[in-house]
Amino acid sequence: MEIHKRDIKKLKGMINTAGSGELPNWVEPGKKFDSEKPKMYLLPPKATVEVAKVLTFGAAKYDEDNWRYLEDAQNRYSGGALRHIFSHLDGELEDPETNLSHLAHAICCLMFKLELELETDGEARKEEELRKLIGEEHRDGYSAIEPEYRNRKTDN
């Protein structure tokens, strides 16, 4: 059996579903329209696990959602991130309290800042859209109504 280049080109993108020792069974791959979605597999797995360890420590020490309720959170998380980065720059790789990476701690602080910022922006946008919608409804439905007086004598 002779294989031609044109035959091989036809197989491009195809998947062999045959088991070991069986004749090839070439099929087109399934389709999933997710090319516009974030490629979560690009997150570096080892670094992500280190960040999760810091989050786990914090959840045990404070509470899982405690980070959301911190007063002046943006400034305090900026300060925390910078302290961890400066410690790392000074050659201290691990936080002495947790024995976890200073960089993982800094990333947690920055993730908290980003999450709070995104939530705040999202809420602000929702409020603005709601105000516009309510304003349009009031404008569209507004018409001057003449007052109606009952049991009132007129001079006519």
Quick check: is 27 in a domain?
no
Per the structure, how many domains does the chain have? 1
Q: Which residue has the higher pLDDT, 33 or 82?
A: 82
pLDDT of residue 149: 63
pLDDT of residue 135: 74
Quick check: is 33 in a domain?
no
Quick check: is 151 in a domain?
no
Mean pLDDT, residues 95-113 taken together: 98
Quick check: is 139 in a domain?
no
Helix (H) or strand (E) run with residue 26 in it: strand 26-27
Determine the structural domain holding residue 99 and report its residue range. Answer: 63-128
pTM over 0.85: no
Q: How much of the chain exceeds pLDDT 70, in percent?
A: 79
Q: Which residue has the higher pLDDT, 104 or 129?
A: 104
Quick check: is 38 in a domain?
no
For residues 13 and 15, what is the distance between their CA atoms, to the nearest angstrom? 7
What are the tens digits of pLDDT across the range 2-60? 666 666 667 677 777 888 888 878 777 777 777 888 999 999 999 999 999 999 999 99
Tokens representing 133 are: 């919608």
Q: What is the DSSP letter of 32?
A: -
Quick check: is 25 in a domain?
no
Quick check: is 91 in a domain?
yes
pLDDT of residue 154: 56
DSSP symbols for 83-97: HHHHHHHTT--B-TT
The per-residue pLDDT of the chain, averaged, comes to 85
What are the tens digits of pLDDT across the range 55-79? 999 999 999 999 999 999 999 999 9
